[in-house]
A and B are shown apart, each in its own frame.
Chain A
Amino acid sequence: MIINRVPHCVVIALAIFSVTVPGVATADPVADRQALREYYSQRFFDVPLQAHQDGAYALDADAREQWLELEDFPPYEIDVDEGADLFTTPFVNGANFSACFGDGAIRQDYPYFDTTRETVVTLEMAVNECLLEHGESPWPFSSTEMSAVVGFIAYASRGATVAIATPESAAALNAYEAGKQYYLSRRGQLNFACSHCHIDMVGNKLRAETLSASLGHVTHWPTYRFKWQALGGLHRRFQECNSQVGAQPLDLQSEPYRNLEYFLTYMANGLQWNGPSTRK
């Protein structure tokens, strides 16, 4: 037998490698997305998958009604107007954001995996790169200017379909797998993974709030949260989730958060971009 001639140490090393290295060979984004959609379909058989783009409001009729009433006079309206002004304000070289983003309806182009830089590029990163390209200083990711411009772009892109290209290169698959690993890993003193709340316990109540499905987690950002009293981005929410389980939050737009956004956005493929929005 050939296998008997292979030294045991080689077999053991291969076994350890296959378990410990985030395997490109094991990553199958298409199958993952299909499995997640199937899971939510079975869990909420009376909720169309498309409805998950409204987050917890797809699962809680009373909360949905209140939310829809809020949307008549949404608190993010002022930020969107400010974002529109900033979008058309000339840079020092006379150009403005239109030079990078056209009419602003480009939310659906982000995030994407940049094969040259071998990293996930988010919309916030692209905004700062546009500023730098035109001789401006980049904005802090937590600034009101950043939220306003991204809010305007999200508003201009409403109705577009989430359509992230399936990761194919080894680097893109690694980024996707890293995002998936982050999503499924327990963290913090409370020892919770994202999946514990948003897959295992989805639809249940955490205090007074309904735990939403991950399928629509990325579609509605930036969001005006009453808790923040401000418009804020998806990564700020990641930070808050980390803090809630006792984990030290990472920096906004850090690589793990961008990989997580990449993974979640791929899971949301087929839903509609519907930001900015309002949440409690």
Chain B
Amino acid sequence: MEWTLNQKVSLTHSESMVQFMNLHYRHDRTPTLQHCRWAVLLIVSLGLSACASTPASSNKPTITAATAAEQLTQARVAFERSVELGFAWVATGKQIRRAELALANGDVQAASAAAAEALALANASITQAQTESTAWQTRGPFQSAKPSDQDP
């Protein structure tokens, strides 16, 4: 539909507004409220169907006492490694003790969570030890110090 000045003038005010709106929204790529509504409905229905078909617990592996004990062993080994390197963290030991206590009380979920946390902390402290094996040379006012971007 092509608009001319004469056609515009010949329309009443309300008609012209309707025409203008139609033209504006049809020619513009902006989605209308109608489009948005359908999109929202589609997303909500997809989300609901996904929740309905996949229970939250179905993807999680089943944690047994043996699994938690294995996680705890891994955490202990990593912690011992960090102790050997001289970079052990207090928090790691605390999490290991928490996991041991939970396992002794039969709370497998809590034991597993604490053991996983302990393993992550121990691995982080080992990474710190590896990084610091050379990074220390960049610090202090000493002549051997090399400039580093990491330190303030």
Interface residues of A (CB under 8 A from B): 19-20, 26-28, 31-32, 35-36, 38-39, 180-181, 183-189, 191, 193, 195, 199-200, 243, 246-248, 250, 256
**Is residue B144 within 8 Å, beta carbon to beta carbon, of the partner chain?**
yes
Contacting pair A247 B132 (CB below 8 A): no
Residues of A within 8 A of B88 (CB): 247-248
Q: Name the A residues within 8 Å of B90 (CB-CB).
A: 188-189, 243, 246-248
Judge whether B89 and A188 touch: CB under 8 Å: yes
Residue B91 interfacial (CB < 8 Å): yes
**Which of the residues B83, B91, B128 comes within 8 Å of A187, measured between beta carbons?**
B128
> What would 10 A/B residue contacts be, using CB atoms closer than 8 Å?
A38-B141, A183-B140, A184-B137, A189-B121, A195-B140, A246-B91, A247-B89, A248-B88, A248-B92, A256-B86
Cα(A28)–Cα(B124), bound, Å: 32
Binary flags per residue of B89-105, CB closer than 8 Å to A gives 1, else 0: 11111000000000000
CA separation between A243 and B88, bound complex, in Å?
11
**Size class of the B contact interface (CB-based, 8 Å):** 20 to 34
B142 within 8 A of A: yes
A187-B87, A248-B90 given; A36·B133 CB < 8 A: no
Given known A-B contacts A31-B143, A36-B142, A189-B121, A247 and B136 have beta carbons under 8 A apart? no
In the bound complex, CA of A18 to CA of B91 (Å): 34
> Which residues of chain B from 72 to 127 have any CB-CB distance to chain A below 8 Å in the complex?
83, 86-93, 121, 124-125
Contact yes or no, B141 A185, CB < 8 A: no
Known: A38-B141, A184-B140. A20 touches B89 (CB 8 A): no
> How near does chain B come to A2, taking the closest CB pair, in angstroms?
28
CB-based contact B140/A186 at 8 Å:
no
Chain A, residue nearest B79 (CB): A248
Query: Separation in Å of the A255 CB from the closest CB of chain B?
Result: 10
| Complexed CA–CA distance, A203 and B128 (Å) | 27
Q: Residue on B with the closest CB to A23?
A: B144
B142 near A35: Cβ-Cβ < 8 Å: yes
Cβ of B134 and Cβ of A39 under 8 Å apart?
no
Determine if A184 and B139 form an interchain contact, defined as CB atoms under 8 angstroms apart.
yes
Contacts of A189 in B (CB 8 A): 89-91, 121, 124-125
Residues of B within 8 A of A185 (CB): 132, 135-136
Say yes or no: A39 contacts B89, CB within 8 Å.
no
Most buried by A among B93, B135, B139: B139
Q: A200-B152, A246-B89, A248-B90 are in contact. Are A186 and B141 (CB under 8 A)?
A: no
- Given A26-B144, A32-B142, A184-B139, A248 contacting B83 (CB threshold 8 A): yes
| Closest chain A residue, CB of each to CB of B139 | A184
How far does the alpha carbon of A199 sit from the alpha carbon of B131 in the complex, in Å? 21
A169 to B144, CA, bound (A): 19
Other-chain contact of A186, B91, B93, B135 (Cβ < 8 Å): B135
A191 CA / B136 CA spacing, docked (Å): 12
Asked whether A184 lies within 8 Å of B89 as measured between CB atoms, the reply is no
